[in-house]
């Protein structure tokens, strides 16, 4: 049930004609309360789509009653008309829910869009589609919503965790343009705990820092994407905030690795673990330098444990370490010790999809893990430079 697993939420996913293939393309998630607290984090790309501009205004007071998401069009770089479409979409959600006896205002409706950049959304399909989505709302509609937000995804991405009478559920979209700050995708997370918006914001930022912000598939940052957390309070339970944050982080890591595994054209899921760094920021910088190195990614695609490309990549960073003291292991085999050859490359098996790279900087006690993938011939064919 994903986002409808926590009590207090309804969802739907319908086809309204925004996608040329006729697949579902509009999702609606509604918080029935009694609380309507929320938090969100957004792409840090300076070029931001109209739904991001709108949603930043909505989330400012920490109150959200519903979120509507369309695939089949990013509504980015579409000018004043595009922003008016976003506003009209929120108004349509509010009016539709009011007809269903829900007291919702447009100012409490988040809007998300994903798809091609630079094309106007068809309001004649979108706005009546909102009414259809509202009429289709169900307590078990989470799976339909997860399917409706897909673009180049090969399958829906969902997760559910329950603890001591309360639940967190989530759905995610993303298969390309995955890069940090945050890693770009659409994610909706719901929970039935009693936490205020400030607490939700703190927990969400802590969770995304260790999950979506560490996902770096292709180094390309989108214009549209956000992670939203909504709390209904319907369980009547106020959990320990540390336990809630840990559970939320676990769910976000689950969704992030699902996004990694569905990266366009990828044949290897690469986990880069950096240990013994002077600072956590150093560990992240080193891990990300490897994740964004196309020569390294090409080597993994060719099942070549070319550790020299790892050292060359980390040498471009400003992190504190001695490059001639670094150890590198690949899938459990230490191929580099103290900046020189160790075990023969032939001992490394890179044929499995899961690939683990361990980099020991020997400069401190901090660690970080970055998630990436290789780049294959199929990436060129599947990924669109105009999508978000």
Are the C-beta atoms of 238 and 195 separated by less than 8 Å?
Answer: yes
Q: How far apart are CA 41 and CA 345, in angstroms?
A: 42
Q: How far apart are CA 187 and CA 171, in angstroms?
A: 6
What sign does the dihedral 185-231-11-94 (CA atoms) show? Answer: negative
- Concatenated DSSP letters of 139-198: TTTHHHHHHHT-SS-SS-EEEEEEETTEEEEEEEE-SS---TTTTS-EEEEEE-S---HH
Residue 184 falls in the annotated catalytic set: yes
- Mapped onto helix, strand or coil, the DSSP state of residue 84 is helix
Among 318, 257, 264, 261, which residue's Cα sits nearest to residue 286?
A: 318
Are the C-beta atoms of 169 and 159 separated by less than 8 Å?
Answer: yes
- Mapped onto helix, strand or coil, the DSSP state of residue 350 is coil
Q: Of the residues 4, 78, 184, 228, which is catalytic?
A: 184
Dmax (CA) for the chain in angstroms is 70
Among 70, 65, 66, 55, which residue's Cα sits nearest to residue 13?
A: 70
Going from the C-alpha of 330 to that of each of 305, 333, 340, the distances in angstroms are 7, 5, 14
Are the C-beta atoms of 64 and 110 separated by less than 8 Å?
Answer: yes
Among 69, 53, 79, which residue's Cα sits nearest to residue 126?
A: 69
- Kindly give the pairing relationship between strand 9-14 and strand 26-31: antiparallel
Catalytic residue annotation:
184
């Amino acid at each position: 049930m994903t986002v409808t697993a926590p009590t207090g939420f309804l969802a739907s996913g319908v086809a309204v004609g925004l996608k040329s293939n006729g697949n579902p393309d509009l999702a609606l998630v509604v918080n029935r309360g009694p609380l309507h607290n929320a938090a969100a984090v957004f792409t840090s790309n300076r070029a931001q789509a109209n739904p991001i501009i709108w949603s930043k205004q909505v989330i400012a007071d920490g109150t959200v009653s519903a979120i509507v998401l369309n695939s089949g069009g990013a509504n980015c770089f579409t000018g004043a008309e595009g922003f008016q479409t976003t506003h009209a979409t929120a108004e349509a959600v509010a009016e539709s829910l009011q007809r269903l006896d829900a007291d919702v205002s447009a100012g409490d409706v988040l809007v998300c869009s994903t798809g091609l950049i630079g094309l106007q959304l068809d309001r004649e399909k979108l706005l009546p589609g909102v009414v259809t989505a509202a009429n289709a709302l169900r307590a078990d509609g989470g799976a339909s919503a997860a399917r409706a937000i897909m673009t180049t995804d090969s399958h829906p991405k969902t997760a559910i965790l329950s603890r001591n009478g309360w639940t967190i559920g989530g759905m995610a979209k993303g298969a390309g343009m995955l890069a940090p700050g945050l890693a770009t995708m659409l994610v909706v997370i719901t929970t039935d705990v009693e936490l205020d918006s400030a607490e939700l914001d703190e927990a969400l930022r802590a969770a995304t820092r260790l999950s979506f912000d560490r996902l770096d598939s292709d180094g390309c940052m989108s214009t549209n994407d956000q992670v939203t957390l909504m709390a209904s309070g319907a369980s009547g339970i106020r959990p320990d905030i540390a336990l809630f944050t840990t559970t939320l982080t676990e769910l976000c890591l689950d969704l992030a690795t699902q996004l990694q595994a569905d990266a366009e054209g990828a044949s290897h899921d690469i986990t880069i673990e950096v240990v013994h760094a002077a600072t956590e920021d150093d560990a992240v910088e080193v891990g990300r330098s490897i994740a964004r190195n196309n020569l390294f990614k090409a080597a993994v695609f060719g099942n070549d444990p070319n550790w020299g490309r790892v050292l060359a990549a980390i040498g471009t960073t400003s992190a504190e370490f001695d490059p001639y003291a670094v150890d590198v292991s690949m899938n459990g085999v230490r191929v580099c010790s103290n900046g020189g050859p160790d075990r023969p490359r032939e001992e490394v098996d890179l044929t499995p999809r899961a690939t683990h790279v361990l980099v020991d900087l020997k400069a401190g006690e901090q660690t970080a893990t970055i998630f990436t993938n290789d780049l294959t011939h199929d990436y060129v064919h599947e990924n669109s430079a105009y999508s978000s």
